[in-house]
């Protein structure tokens, strides 16, 4: 085993290092090359988001449709009461089921989970492309809604 390791591991490391060198060189020479470090995420202005209080009023008045941008499994595990699931990462696949409920004027509140979550932003972009521009984002929506003790549909129910 020791002999095996002694002979094979350095060569395996050599293969990996050669691949890394080729990758760095290829990326530098390619017109499609990427910056080595991804640029920092854009800081979202606070005014892009609605407050929890605003969201609560919209929910209570039935003025807006709440859309959960997370994956179906996350949605199934629990979501804001009456919210529908429109996963941002498979928008095209799921939009057909939601579309009949929407008009371009429909007020929409989009949310996902976590302050870093990009899904509601992606969903907003997809909806805007389709002409649905009356959208609001609730930052860290699932967590803040649940922690405030507002109505939710727990896991197992849809």
Binding site for other proteins (CB under 8 A): 4, 8-12, 14-16, 18-20, 22-24, 26-27, 30, 32-38, 40-41, 71-74, 87, 89-90, 93
Residue 150: Cβ-neighbour burial (10 angstroms; 0-12, 13-18, 19+): middle
What is the smallest separation between the CB atom of 4 and other proteins, expressed in angstroms? 7
Query: Any bridge partners for residue 68, and if so which?
Result: 85, 111
Of residues 58 and 86, the one with the C-beta less far from other proteins? 86
What is the smallest separation between the CB atom of 6 and other proteins, expressed in angstroms? 12
C-beta separation of 109 from 136 below 8 A: yes
Of residues 91 and 132, the one with the C-beta less far from other proteins? 91
Of residues 104 and 155, the one with the C-beta less far from other proteins? 155
Q: How many residues are there in the chain?
A: 158
Q: Which two tokens stand for residue 10?
A: 């350095």
Of residues 7 and 133, the one with the C-beta less far from other proteins? 7
φ, ψ of residue 113 in degrees (nearest 5): -145, 135
């Amino acid at each position: 085993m020791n002999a095996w390791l002694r002979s094979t591991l350095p060569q395996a490391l050599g293969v990996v290092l050669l691949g890394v060198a080729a990758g760095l060189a290829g990326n530098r020479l390619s017109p499609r090359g990427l910056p080595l470090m991804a640029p920092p995420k854009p800081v979202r202005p606070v005014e892009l988001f609605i407050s929890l209080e605003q969201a609560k009023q919209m929910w209570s008045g039935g003025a807006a449709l709440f859309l959960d941008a997370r994956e179906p499994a996350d949605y199934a595990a629990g979501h804001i009461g009456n919210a529908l699931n429109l996963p941002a990462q498979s928008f095209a696949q799921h939009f057909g089921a939601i579309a009949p409920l929407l008009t371009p004027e429909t007020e929409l509140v989009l949310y996902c989970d976590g302050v870093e979550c990009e899904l509601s932003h992606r969903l907003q972009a997809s909806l805007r492309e389709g002409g649905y521009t009356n959208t609001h984002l609730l930052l860290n929506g699932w967590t803040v809604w649940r922690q405030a003790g507002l109505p939710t549909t727990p896991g197992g129910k849809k």
